[in-house]
Amino acid sequence: MSGPLPVGAALEVESLSVRVRGRALVDDATWSAPAGRLTALVGPNGAGKSSMLRAIAGVVPERAERTGRVLLGGERLDALPPRERARRVALVEQLADGAPQLTAREAVRLGRTPHHRMLGFSLGDDRHVAAALDAAGAMALAERPLAELSGGELQRVHLARALAQQSGGEPGLLLLDEPTNHLDVAWQLELLELVRRLALDRPVVMTVHDLALAATHADRVVLVDRGRVVASGAPSDVLTPERIRAVYGVDAEIDARPGGVAIRYRRMAS
Amino acid sequence: MTRTEQPAAGRERPATAAERASTATTRAAAHIPAQLPTRGPRRRRSPALLLALALGALLVVGVAVAASAGPAGIGPLEALGAILARLGVGESPLGAVDDAIVVDLRLPRALAACAVGAGLAIVGAIMQALVRNPLADPYLLGVSSGASVGAVLVLIAGLGVLLPVAAFVGALAALLATLGLAAAAGGATPTRTVLAGVVVASAASALVSLVIFWGADGDAYREILAWLLGSLAAITWPTALVALVGAGLALALLPTGRLLDALALGDAAAGALGVDARRTRWALLVASALVTGVLVSVSGAIGFVGLVVPHAVRLAVGAGHARLLPLSALAGALVLLVSDTVARAAFDPRELPVGIVTALIGAPVFAALMLSGRVRT
């Protein structure tokens, strides 16, 4: 897929592991995501995709042990204090349905939290929030409570929050957990369009279940199974029938055309 | 970023492979984002500001009325004049006796009512947010029950002067017991802390009942009941100052409103914003319980204010804590000031424990708010 040359800081994950009571949620994962590229993290349910994103964002479960290194532009993210890290990495969670009574603007303003000083505000908050709402195409939603928004609208607002979090500095790392989940096809395309635009000057990593969607829209794919990275690279190199069979246990027929990739699945002949 | 640099989605966009593949769906998508109806910009902010100003004005009026209400036959303006005179503004319009009644008896009580009401409402709103339970109130960690044990013991021993000290010691002991129990049970997580609080509160309540059953009679019984229901009858300047310190500590928690909003997003989302959800929640729980301990030591366990005022304010201005906390403080101060004035003056010469009045006035007001159709559930 043609795109602009990578600019800015790349994400490098080196030997990242997250263990809870001996069980590995993420197991010695090493992969990278260049800036200016959209990277898709794929894998079966429970493969550790969400745990991976959270660990990169510095969020680990209670009593979990995290080892390994996470670098953004050569800087150790995992060694940064939480607020410093939060200015460089933003995470949009799957099914982010918290804080339903807040208006969209208030929710986006929460993105400014790592920039706040003692009194809960910082200079230019309003400007950054407005710019983020605008960039995410959510300006028209600003005064509506989150509870009233549709899934697609909500996803936009949370994207705007992530943008507000990084506004006012270098474009940072954007992590999206299942951003297309529960969206109808029109919203999916809208959202991917937006995400692609955001990925012009920063590394963006999203988890997706739909392999065809990943193959069509992502520049790079990282395939994860049981916490381990099975393969990473260009979509056509990573998503082969053999690997899909090995990881998902289904037969896949991949139909790559200039307009996009379609995949047909069948239960494995046993 | 401006619209020219970042064209709104759905308008002039570079075509992608996916769009070329499915122009039909793209057309369907194109009309979605930019043309959503707005509902008037900032529709909630100005009501909040208006409400704050109105509550502030009512509070000033309320203090003047509270300082004048009673058998001495003093007018609100005279009372206000006397108060201002003590602050060095003008001269008191009242004689020495009336002046003393206003400034030395009623003013400290009115200020204590404001302080306790504001503090309880703030702490109640914070507690509700921390444990995500609308039934949470300031007494969540067993603080008031512990205070009651201390209070009841000194009342039965006939050492009423020691009441605030004993109550605070009791509150602190209960808080420490709660935290200790939670820690011993495997780490003071918020859930464990709240559960431990329930246990400690039950034990302390049982202890209070036991002591009353065993030792109380006549006057002591009435005193104890007044304390348990919450009363500001015994307020003097020194205890009023304690209440004001408690309110000051509660006000110091106001900037945590944004943190509470971040926590409402979910723990992981808060963590990604650089907020350690577990530690923040625990620290705020303990800080809130401490503030409650200070307040309870002078007022007893006044119910309703800390539980219902935050809900009422939420109905009016929404759940964003940056607005909810300060407005709850104002509303709580006003509710308790009015309630206490009614408790003191309405049934003269008898006086009701203010806890009865807060519920008597508060319950119908809250019911009316609910019936007005503003409840969003």
- How is B253-312 classified by DSSP, letter by letter? TGGGHHHHHHHHT-HHHHHHTT--HHHHHHHHHHHHHHHHHHHHHHH----SHHHHHHHH
Average pLDDT over residues B242-249: 96
pLDDT band at A263 (very low <50, low <70, confident <90, very high): very high
Q: What pLDDT sits at residue A119?
A: 62
Nearest-neighbour CA in chain A from B9: distance (Å): 6
Instruction: With a cut of 80, say whether residue A193 has pLDDT above it.
Output: yes
Q: What pLDDT sits at residue B337?
A: 95
> Which amino acid makes up residue A3?
G
A257: chain B residues, CB-CB within 8 Å? 21
Nearest by CB to residue A101, choosing from B10, B262, B319, is B319
Residues 73-92 on B with a CB inside 8 Å of A are none
Enter the tokens of residue B217.
């009679």
Enter the tokens of residue B65.
């009325």
Please indicate, yes or no, if residue B164 is contained in any of the structural domains: yes
Number of domains in chain B: 1
Residue B376 has phi, psi (to 5 degrees) of -110, 100
B347: how many CB neighbours lie within 10 A of its CB?
Answer: 11
CB atoms B273 and A110 under 8 Å: yes
Q: Which of A70, A21, A65, A15 is nearest to A229 (CA)?
A: A15
Using DSSP's 3-state secondary structure scheme, residue A256 falls into strand
Enter the tokens of residue B40.
């008037």
Please indicate, yes or no, if residue B208 is contained in any of the structural domains: yes
Does any CB of chain A come closer than 8 Å to the CB of residue B37? yes
Residues 142-161 on A with a CB inside 8 Å of B are 142-145, 147, 152-153, 156
CB atoms A190 and B276 under 8 Å: no
- The β-bridge partners of A17 are A67
CATH number at residue B236: 1.10.3470.10
- The β-bridge partners of A254 are A263
Q: Which of A80, A38, A30, A74 is nearest to A57 (CA)?
A: A80
Nearest by CB to residue B21, choosing from A54, A109, A259, is A259
Instruction: With a cut of 60, say whether residue B35 has pLDDT above it.
Output: no
Domain holding B209, by residue range, is 115-374
**Helix ranges (DSSP H) in chain B:** 17-21, 23-30, 45-68, 76-86, 96-100, 107-131, 143-156, 163-184, 190-215, 218-229, 237-252, 257-264, 267-272, 277-299, 305-317, 321-345, 354-369
CB atoms B258 and A118 under 8 Å: no
- Asked if residues A164 and A128 have their Cβ atoms less than 8 Å apart, the reply is yes
Q: What is the DSSP letter of A223?
A: E
Please indicate, yes or no, if residue B42 is contained in any of the structural domains: no
Average pLDDT over residues A242-255: 93
Only one residue has tokens 């379609």, namely A262
CB atoms A140 and B33 under 8 Å: yes
pLDDT tens column, A196-238: 998 988 899 999 999 999 999 999 999 999 999 999 999 999 9
Residues 271-300 on B with a CB inside 8 Å of A are 271-276, 278
> Residue A266, class by beta-carbon neighbours within 10 Å (0-12 exposed, 13-18 middle, 19+ buried)?
exposed
Rounded to whole angstroms, the Cα distance separating A221 from A230 reads 11
A216: chain B residues, CB-CB within 8 Å? 17-18, 21
pLDDT tens column, A123-160: 788 899 999 999 888 999 999 989 899 888 999 999 99
Instruction: With a cut of 80, say whether residue B334 has pLDDT above it.
Output: yes
Q: What pLDDT sits at residue A270?
A: 61
Percent of chain B residues past pLDDT 70, beyond the cut: 86
Mean pLDDT of chain A: 88
Q: Which of A43, A45, A55, A70 is nearest to A18 (CA)?
A: A55
Q: What pLDDT sits at residue B25?
A: 37
Nearest-neighbour CA in chain B from A270: distance (Å): 35
Closest chain B residue to A63 measured between Cα atoms? B187
Q: What pLDDT sits at residue B373?
A: 60
Query: What ipTM was predicted for this assembly?
Result: 0.84
What distance, in Å, lies between the first and last C-alpha atoms of chain B?
Answer: 37
Instruction: With a cut of 80, say whether residue B104 has pLDDT above it.
Output: yes
Rounded to whole angstroms, the Cα distance separating B28 from A190 reads 10
Q: What pLDDT sits at residue B377?
A: 42
Most confident of the following: A43-57, B83-97, B348-362: A43-57
Residue A6: partners with Cβ closer than 8 Å, 6 or more residues away: A34, A35, A36, A37
List the A23-33 sheet strands across, edge first.
A23-33, A11-20, A64-72, A75-76
Domains in chain A: ranges and CATH: 11-267 (3.40.50.300)
Q: What pLDDT sits at residue A120?
A: 59
Most confident of the following: B52-61, B88-97, B346-355: B52-61
Please indicate, yes or no, if residue B17 is contained in any of the structural domains: no
Q: Which of A188, A228, A184, A230 is nearest to A206 (CA)?
A: A188
Closest chain A residue to B279 measured between Cα atoms? A62
Enter the tokens of residue B5.
């640099």
Q: At what angle do helices B277-299 and B257-264 cross, to 10 degrees?
A: 130
pLDDT tens column, B263-304: 888 888 899 999 988 889 889 988 998 999 999 999 988 988
User: A108-146: string of b/e by CB count within 10 Å (b at 16+)?
Assistant: bbbbbbbbbeeebbeeebeebbbbbbbbbbbbbbbbbbb
Q: What pLDDT sits at residue B346?
A: 84
Average pLDDT over residues A255-267: 89
Mean pLDDT of chain B: 82
Average pLDDT over residues B305-311: 91
Instruction: With a cut of 90, say whether residue B14 has pLDDT above it.
Output: no
pLDDT tens column, A150-183: 888 999 999 999 999 987 767 789 999 999 888 8
Residue B57: partners with Cβ closer than 8 Å, 6 or more residues away: none
Q: What pLDDT sits at residue A181?
A: 85
Average pLDDT over residues B153-159: 85
What's the predicted TM-score (pTM) here?
0.82
pLDDT band at B33 (very low <50, low <70, confident <90, very high): very low
Instruction: With a cut of 80, say whether residue B11 has pLDDT above it.
Output: no
- The β-bridge partners of A66 are A18
CB atoms B18 and A260 under 8 Å: yes
CB atoms B376 and A101 under 8 Å: yes
Instruction: With a cut of 70, say whether residue A3 has pLDDT above it.
Output: no
Please indicate, yes or no, if residue B4 is contained in any of the structural domains: no
Q: What is the DSSP letter of B90?
A: S
CB atoms A62 and B278 under 8 Å: yes
Nearest-neighbour CA in chain B from A261: distance (Å): 9
Residue A76, H or E segment: strand A75-76
Instruction: With a cut of 70, say whether residue A242 has pLDDT above it.
Output: yes
CB atoms B16 and A140 under 8 Å: no
Average pLDDT over residues B202-231: 86
> Which range (A7-11, B13-17, B104-108, B147-151) has the least confidence?
B13-17
Please indicate, yes or no, if residue B90 is contained in any of the structural domains: no
Average pLDDT over residues A25-52: 94
Rounded to whole angstroms, the Cα distance separating B55 from B65 reads 15
* Residue A61 backbone zone (phi > 0: left; psi -120 to 50: alpha; other: beta): beta
Q: Cα–Cα–Cα angle for A233, A42, A165, nearest 5°?
A: 95
- State the number of CA atoms in the 13 A half-sphere of A214 facing the CB: 29
